[in-house]
Protein backbone atom coordinates (compact mmCIF):
# COMPACT_ATOMS: atom_id res chain seq x y z
CA UNK A 1 0.00 0.00 0.00
CA UNK A 2 1.24 3.47 -0.90
CA UNK A 3 0.94 6.33 1.57
CA UNK A 4 1.81 9.99 1.19
CA UNK A 5 4.61 10.99 3.55
CA UNK A 6 5.09 14.66 4.39
CA UNK A 7 8.15 15.27 6.61
CA UNK A 8 7.17 18.94 7.17
CA UNK A 9 9.18 21.66 8.91
CA UNK A 10 11.39 22.12 11.95
CA UNK A 11 11.67 18.83 13.84
CA UNK A 12 9.36 17.15 11.28
CA UNK A 13 12.10 15.52 9.15
CA UNK A 14 13.82 14.11 12.29
CA UNK A 15 10.71 12.47 13.76
CA UNK A 16 9.73 11.27 10.28
CA UNK A 17 13.10 9.56 9.90
CA UNK A 18 12.75 7.81 13.27
CA UNK A 19 9.22 6.71 12.33
CA UNK A 20 10.46 5.27 9.02
CA UNK A 21 12.99 3.15 10.95
CA UNK A 22 10.12 1.76 13.06
CA UNK A 23 7.81 1.08 10.10
CA UNK A 24 10.62 -0.68 8.23
CA UNK A 25 11.11 -3.06 11.16
CA UNK A 26 7.49 -4.19 10.84
CA UNK A 27 8.20 -5.69 7.44
CA UNK A 28 4.83 -4.84 5.96
CA UNK A 29 4.23 -3.80 2.33
CA UNK A 30 4.07 -0.04 2.94
CA UNK A 31 5.44 2.27 0.28
CA UNK A 32 6.06 5.98 0.89
CA UNK A 33 5.41 8.76 -1.61
CA UNK A 34 7.38 11.61 -0.06
CA UNK A 35 5.85 15.03 -0.71
CA UNK A 36 6.80 18.61 0.14
CA UNK A 37 4.81 21.02 2.30
CA UNK A 38 5.68 23.91 4.56
CA UNK A 39 8.56 26.36 4.57
CA UNK A 40 10.85 24.20 2.46
CA UNK A 41 8.13 23.95 -0.21
CA UNK A 42 7.80 27.74 -0.39
CA UNK A 43 11.42 28.02 -1.50
CA UNK A 44 11.01 25.44 -4.27
CA UNK A 45 7.38 25.77 -5.34
CA UNK A 46 6.39 29.27 -4.20
CA UNK A 47 3.61 27.86 -2.01
CA UNK A 48 3.63 26.02 1.33
CA UNK A 49 1.22 23.46 -0.02
CA UNK A 50 1.99 22.47 -3.63
CA UNK A 51 -0.92 21.09 -5.64
CA UNK A 52 1.00 17.85 -6.25
CA UNK A 53 1.05 17.19 -2.49
CA UNK A 54 -2.73 17.57 -2.22
CA UNK A 55 -3.15 15.39 -5.34
CA UNK A 56 -0.92 12.70 -3.80
CA UNK A 57 -3.06 12.59 -0.64
CA UNK A 58 -6.24 12.46 -2.75
CA UNK A 59 -4.82 9.58 -4.79
CA UNK A 60 -3.37 7.51 -1.92
CA UNK A 61 -6.17 8.48 0.51
CA UNK A 62 -3.80 8.06 3.45
CA UNK A 63 -0.98 10.30 4.60
CA UNK A 64 1.49 10.49 7.46
CA UNK A 65 2.49 14.07 8.08
CA UNK A 66 5.06 15.88 10.18
CA UNK A 67 4.28 19.29 11.67
CA UNK A 68 4.32 22.39 9.50
CA UNK A 69 5.31 25.88 10.56
CA UNK A 70 2.49 28.32 9.98
CA UNK A 71 3.92 30.78 7.44
CA UNK A 72 3.42 34.47 8.04
CA UNK A 73 2.27 36.52 5.05
CA UNK A 74 2.15 33.81 2.35
CA UNK A 75 -1.54 33.83 1.60
CA UNK A 76 -2.36 30.83 3.81
CA UNK A 77 -3.67 31.32 7.31
CA UNK A 78 -2.38 27.82 8.08
CA UNK A 79 -1.30 24.96 5.83
CA UNK A 80 -2.84 22.52 8.27
CA UNK A 81 -6.21 24.25 8.20
CA UNK A 82 -5.97 24.37 4.37
CA UNK A 83 -5.32 20.61 4.13
CA UNK A 84 -8.15 19.79 6.55
CA UNK A 85 -10.59 22.05 4.69
CA UNK A 86 -9.59 21.05 1.15
CA UNK A 87 -9.86 17.34 1.90
CA UNK A 88 -12.83 17.78 4.25
CA UNK A 89 -11.05 16.01 7.11
CA UNK A 90 -13.81 16.90 9.50
CA UNK A 91 -12.78 14.74 12.45
CA UNK A 92 -9.65 15.26 14.51
CA UNK A 93 -8.95 12.24 16.66
CA UNK A 94 -6.47 12.55 19.53
CA UNK A 95 -6.11 9.61 21.90
CA UNK A 96 -4.45 10.37 25.24
CA UNK A 97 -3.48 7.24 27.13
CA UNK A 98 -1.06 6.96 30.04
CA UNK A 99 1.75 4.50 29.51
CA UNK A 100 2.96 2.57 32.55
CA UNK A 101 6.34 3.60 33.95
CA UNK A 102 5.97 7.37 33.60
CA UNK A 103 5.82 9.36 36.79
CA UNK A 104 2.38 10.79 36.08
CA UNK A 105 -0.07 12.31 38.56
CA UNK A 106 -2.83 10.12 37.07
CA UNK A 107 -1.62 6.70 35.91
CA UNK A 108 -4.92 5.48 34.45
CA UNK A 109 -6.01 7.90 31.78
CA UNK A 110 -7.50 6.63 28.53
CA UNK A 111 -9.29 9.54 26.88
CA UNK A 112 -10.03 10.02 23.19
CA UNK A 113 -10.61 13.60 22.09
CA UNK A 114 -12.84 13.92 19.00
CA UNK A 115 -12.57 17.49 17.75
CA UNK A 116 -14.64 19.07 14.97
CA UNK A 117 -12.07 20.20 12.45
CA UNK A 118 -13.69 22.50 9.88
CA UNK A 119 -15.67 25.33 11.46
CA UNK A 120 -16.31 27.25 14.70
CA UNK A 121 -13.93 30.19 15.23
CA UNK A 122 -11.46 28.47 12.88
CA UNK A 123 -13.73 28.94 9.85
CA UNK A 124 -11.47 31.90 9.08
CA UNK A 125 -14.24 34.50 8.92
CA UNK A 126 -12.41 37.33 10.58
CA UNK A 127 -12.55 41.08 10.03
CA UNK A 128 -9.67 43.43 10.67
CA UNK A 129 -10.18 46.62 12.66
CA UNK A 130 -11.19 49.60 10.56
CA UNK A 131 -12.79 47.57 7.73
CA UNK A 132 -16.25 48.24 6.31
CA UNK A 133 -17.44 44.84 7.64
CA UNK A 134 -16.46 45.78 11.20
CA UNK A 135 -18.19 49.15 10.82
CA UNK A 136 -21.35 47.47 9.49
CA UNK A 137 -21.53 44.86 12.25
CA UNK A 138 -21.01 47.52 14.92
CA UNK A 139 -23.77 49.66 13.36
CA UNK A 140 -26.20 46.77 12.76
CA UNK A 141 -25.95 45.59 16.34
CA UNK A 142 -25.63 49.06 17.87
CA UNK A 143 -22.46 47.95 19.62
CA UNK A 144 -20.58 50.36 21.81
CA UNK A 145 -17.21 49.79 20.11
CA UNK A 146 -14.95 51.87 17.96
CA UNK A 147 -14.59 50.21 14.49
CA UNK A 148 -11.07 51.62 14.28
CA UNK A 149 -10.02 49.71 17.39
CA UNK A 150 -12.00 46.48 17.10
CA UNK A 151 -11.43 43.15 15.32
CA UNK A 152 -14.21 40.59 14.85
CA UNK A 153 -14.20 36.80 14.34
CA UNK A 154 -17.29 34.74 13.64
CA UNK A 155 -18.07 31.51 15.44
CA UNK A 156 -19.84 29.30 12.92
CA UNK A 157 -21.53 26.07 14.00
CA UNK A 158 -23.64 24.25 11.40
CA UNK A 159 -26.09 21.39 11.87
CA UNK A 160 -24.38 19.45 9.10
CA UNK A 161 -20.83 19.59 10.53
CA UNK A 162 -22.06 19.06 14.10
CA UNK A 163 -24.05 16.02 13.08
CA UNK A 164 -21.07 14.55 11.21
CA UNK A 165 -18.64 14.90 14.11
CA UNK A 166 -21.10 13.72 16.74
CA UNK A 167 -22.03 10.66 14.68
CA UNK A 168 -18.30 10.03 14.13
CA UNK A 169 -17.70 10.13 17.92
CA UNK A 170 -20.53 7.66 18.62
CA UNK A 171 -19.46 5.32 15.82
CA UNK A 172 -15.86 5.46 17.07
CA UNK A 173 -17.04 4.69 20.62
CA UNK A 174 -19.11 1.74 19.46
CA UNK A 175 -16.41 0.31 17.19
CA UNK A 176 -13.75 0.62 19.89
CA UNK A 177 -15.94 -0.67 22.72
CA UNK A 178 -15.89 2.62 24.57
CA UNK A 179 -18.47 3.14 27.29
CA UNK A 180 -19.19 6.86 27.40
CA UNK A 181 -19.30 9.92 25.15
CA UNK A 182 -19.18 13.39 26.75
CA UNK A 183 -20.31 16.41 24.75
CA UNK A 184 -18.32 19.53 25.65
CA UNK A 185 -19.82 22.98 25.05
CA UNK A 186 -20.66 26.40 26.43
CA UNK A 187 -24.33 26.24 25.51
CA UNK A 188 -25.35 28.22 28.59
CA UNK A 189 -23.81 31.33 27.00
CA UNK A 190 -23.70 30.59 23.25
CA UNK A 191 -27.19 29.25 22.84
CA UNK A 192 -27.46 29.35 19.03
CA UNK A 193 -24.03 27.82 18.29
CA UNK A 194 -22.95 25.57 21.15
CA UNK A 195 -26.64 25.13 21.98
CA UNK A 196 -27.18 23.75 18.49
CA UNK A 197 -24.19 21.40 18.91
CA UNK A 198 -25.62 20.13 22.20
CA UNK A 199 -29.13 19.66 20.73
CA UNK A 200 -27.72 17.52 17.94
CA UNK A 201 -25.70 15.50 20.45
CA UNK A 202 -28.83 14.81 22.51
CA UNK A 203 -30.83 13.76 19.42
CA UNK A 204 -28.05 11.58 18.00
CA UNK A 205 -27.43 9.89 21.36
CA UNK A 206 -30.86 8.24 21.06
CA UNK A 207 -29.42 6.09 18.24
CA UNK A 208 -26.75 4.74 20.60
CA UNK A 209 -28.56 3.36 23.66
CA UNK A 210 -25.58 1.07 24.33
CA UNK A 211 -23.35 4.08 25.06
CA UNK A 212 -23.59 6.25 28.16
CA UNK A 213 -23.80 9.97 27.42
CA UNK A 214 -23.33 13.19 29.34
CA UNK A 215 -22.50 16.80 28.62
CA UNK A 216 -20.11 19.22 30.33
CA UNK A 217 -19.55 22.93 30.09
CA UNK A 218 -15.97 23.42 28.87
CA UNK A 219 -14.77 25.34 31.94
CA UNK A 220 -16.13 22.69 34.28
CA UNK A 221 -14.61 19.97 32.10
CA UNK A 222 -11.18 21.66 32.39
CA UNK A 223 -11.40 21.60 36.17
CA UNK A 224 -12.62 17.98 36.21
CA UNK A 225 -9.82 16.94 33.84
CA UNK A 226 -7.13 18.10 36.22
CA UNK A 227 -8.89 16.67 39.29
CA UNK A 228 -10.41 13.37 38.16
CA UNK A 229 -9.55 12.65 34.51
CA UNK A 230 -10.19 8.90 34.81
CA UNK A 231 -13.94 9.58 34.66
CA UNK A 232 -13.72 10.55 30.97
CA UNK A 233 -13.73 8.25 27.98
CA UNK A 234 -14.60 9.81 24.58
CA UNK A 235 -14.97 13.61 24.42
CA UNK A 236 -16.64 15.31 21.45
CA UNK A 237 -16.05 19.04 21.06
CA UNK A 238 -16.39 21.95 18.64
CA UNK A 239 -13.12 23.03 17.03
CA UNK A 240 -11.68 25.63 19.44
CA UNK A 241 -12.42 23.75 22.67
CA UNK A 242 -11.11 20.57 21.02
CA UNK A 243 -7.83 22.26 20.14
CA UNK A 244 -7.25 23.47 23.69
CA UNK A 245 -8.55 20.41 25.55
CA UNK A 246 -6.50 17.99 23.44
CA UNK A 247 -3.27 19.74 24.51
CA UNK A 248 -4.46 19.66 28.12
CA UNK A 249 -5.10 15.91 27.83
CA UNK A 250 -1.67 15.45 26.18
CA UNK A 251 -0.13 17.18 29.18
CA UNK A 252 -1.92 14.78 31.53
CA UNK A 253 -0.30 11.75 29.90
CA UNK A 254 3.27 13.00 29.62
CA UNK A 255 3.33 15.91 27.18
CA UNK A 256 3.30 16.65 23.48
CA UNK A 257 6.11 14.17 22.78
CA UNK A 258 3.58 11.40 23.43
CA UNK A 259 0.57 12.90 21.65
CA UNK A 260 -0.46 11.34 18.34
CA UNK A 261 -3.36 12.42 16.17
CA UNK A 262 -5.38 11.91 13.02
CA UNK A 263 -7.50 14.07 10.75
CA UNK A 264 -10.18 11.91 9.22
CA UNK A 265 -12.76 12.48 6.48
CA UNK A 266 -15.20 10.11 4.81
CA UNK A 267 -12.51 8.37 2.78
CA UNK A 268 -9.23 10.23 3.37
CA UNK A 269 -7.15 10.31 6.55
CA UNK A 270 -4.02 12.26 7.48
CA UNK A 271 -2.13 11.10 10.58
CA UNK A 272 0.09 13.58 12.40
CA UNK A 273 1.41 14.46 15.86
CA UNK A 274 -0.62 16.94 17.91
CA UNK A 275 2.36 19.26 18.33
CA UNK A 276 3.94 21.79 15.99
CA UNK A 277 7.35 22.10 14.33
CA UNK A 278 9.12 23.12 17.59
CA UNK A 279 11.70 25.23 15.65
CA UNK A 280 14.00 25.78 18.61
CA UNK A 281 14.72 22.02 18.74
CA UNK A 282 15.12 21.54 14.97
CA UNK A 283 18.27 19.85 13.69
CA UNK A 284 19.41 18.76 17.16
CA UNK A 285 18.23 15.13 16.97
CA UNK A 286 16.83 15.37 20.51
CA UNK A 287 13.06 15.72 20.15
CA UNK A 288 10.72 12.88 21.11
CA UNK A 289 9.55 10.97 18.00
CA UNK A 290 6.94 8.93 19.90
CA UNK A 291 4.16 11.36 18.89
CA UNK A 292 4.76 10.52 15.23
CA UNK A 293 5.49 6.84 15.86
CA UNK A 294 2.16 6.58 17.70
CA UNK A 295 0.46 8.49 14.85
CA UNK A 296 1.83 5.81 12.51
CA UNK A 297 0.33 3.21 14.86
CA UNK A 298 -3.07 4.90 14.44
CA UNK A 299 -2.55 4.82 10.66
CA UNK A 300 -1.89 1.08 10.81
CA UNK A 301 -5.11 0.53 12.78
CA UNK A 302 -6.99 2.59 10.20
CA UNK A 303 -5.78 0.39 7.35
CA UNK A 304 -6.51 -2.80 9.28
CA UNK A 305 -2.89 -3.66 10.19
CA UNK A 306 -3.91 -4.22 13.79
CA UNK A 307 -1.19 -6.70 14.59
CA UNK A 308 1.53 -4.27 13.52
CA UNK A 309 -0.17 -1.44 15.40
CA UNK A 310 -0.16 -3.58 18.54
CA UNK A 311 3.56 -4.30 18.03
CA UNK A 312 4.31 -0.56 18.01
CA UNK A 313 2.23 0.05 21.13
CA UNK A 314 3.91 -2.83 22.97
CA UNK A 315 7.38 -1.63 21.91
CA UNK A 316 6.67 1.92 23.09
CA UNK A 317 5.44 0.55 26.43
CA UNK A 318 8.59 -1.57 26.71
CA UNK A 319 10.81 1.41 25.89
CA UNK A 320 9.18 3.50 28.62
CA UNK A 321 9.24 0.73 31.24
CA UNK A 322 12.90 -0.01 30.48
CA UNK A 323 13.57 3.74 30.81
CA UNK A 324 17.04 3.65 29.23
CA UNK A 325 16.31 5.18 25.82
CA UNK A 326 14.09 8.18 26.50
CA UNK A 327 14.36 11.72 25.18
CA UNK A 328 14.84 14.78 27.38
CA UNK A 329 11.11 15.47 27.82
CA UNK A 330 10.67 12.09 29.52
CA UNK A 331 13.73 12.53 31.71
CA UNK A 332 16.28 10.81 29.48
CA UNK A 333 19.07 11.91 27.15
CA UNK A 334 18.56 9.63 24.14
CA UNK A 335 18.48 11.05 20.64
CA UNK A 336 15.48 10.98 18.29
CA UNK A 337 17.24 8.37 16.15
CA UNK A 338 18.13 6.18 19.14
CA UNK A 339 14.47 6.05 20.19
CA UNK A 340 13.43 4.99 16.66
CA UNK A 341 16.16 2.34 16.53
CA UNK A 342 15.35 0.98 19.98
CA UNK A 343 11.66 0.60 19.16
CA UNK A 344 12.59 -1.07 15.88
CA UNK A 345 14.82 -3.52 17.78
CA UNK A 346 12.00 -4.35 20.23
CA UNK A 347 9.70 -4.97 17.26
CA UNK A 348 12.23 -7.22 15.52
CA UNK A 349 12.68 -9.30 18.65
CA UNK A 350 8.92 -9.57 19.40
Closer to ligand NAD by CB, 5 or 68: give it: 68
Closer to ligand NAD by CB, 205 or 274: give it: 274
Q: How far is the CB of 64 from ligand NAD (least distance, A)?
A: 12
Among 110, 313, 329, 341, binds ligand NAD (CB under 6 A): 329
Count residues near ligand NAD (CB under 6 A).
18
Say whether residue 295 binds ligand NAD (CB under 6 A). Answer: no
Does 136 qualify as catalytic in the annotation? no
Say whether residue 301 binds ligand NAD (CB under 6 A). Answer: no
Does 140 qualify as catalytic in the annotation? no
| Segment interacting with ligand NAD (CB under 6 A) among 137-145, 193-201, 209-217, 285-293 | 285-293
What burial class does residue 92 get, using C-beta atoms within 10 Å of its C-beta: 0-12 exposed, 13-18 middle, 19+ buried? buried
Catalytic residue among 52, 59, 210, 219: 219
Say whether residue 6 binds ligand NAD (CB under 6 A). Answer: no
- The sign one gets for the Cα dihedral 97, 100, 101, 107 is positive
Among 20, 275, 297, 311, binds ligand NAD (CB under 6 A): 275
Closer to ligand NAD by CB, 195 or 255: give it: 255
Q: How far is the CB of 67 from ligand NAD (least distance, A)?
A: 4
Catalytic residue among 9, 120, 243, 247: 243
Does 247 qualify as catalytic in the annotation? no
Among 7, 36, 48, 67, binds ligand NAD (CB under 6 A): 67
The helix-helix angle for 12-25 and 290-302 (nearest 10°) equals 50
Say whether residue 70 binds ligand NAD (CB under 6 A). Answer: yes
Among 257, 260, 265, 340, binds ligand NAD (CB under 6 A): 257
Does 219 qualify as catalytic in the annotation? yes
Q: Active-site residue numbers? A: 122, 186, 219, 243
Instruction: Give me the residues that bind ligand NAD (CB under 6 A), please.
Output: 67-70, 80, 256-257, 272, 275-280, 287-288, 291, 329
Amino acid sequence: MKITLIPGDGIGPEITQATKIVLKALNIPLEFEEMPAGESAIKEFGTPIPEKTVESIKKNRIALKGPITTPVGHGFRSVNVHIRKTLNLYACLRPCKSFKGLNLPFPDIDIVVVRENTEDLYAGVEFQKGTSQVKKIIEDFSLNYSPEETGISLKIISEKASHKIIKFAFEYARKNKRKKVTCVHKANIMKFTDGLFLDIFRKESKNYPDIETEDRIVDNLSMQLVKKPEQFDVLVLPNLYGDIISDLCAGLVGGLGLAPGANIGDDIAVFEPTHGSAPKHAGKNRINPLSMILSAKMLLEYIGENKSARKIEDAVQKLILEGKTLTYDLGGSASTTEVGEKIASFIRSS
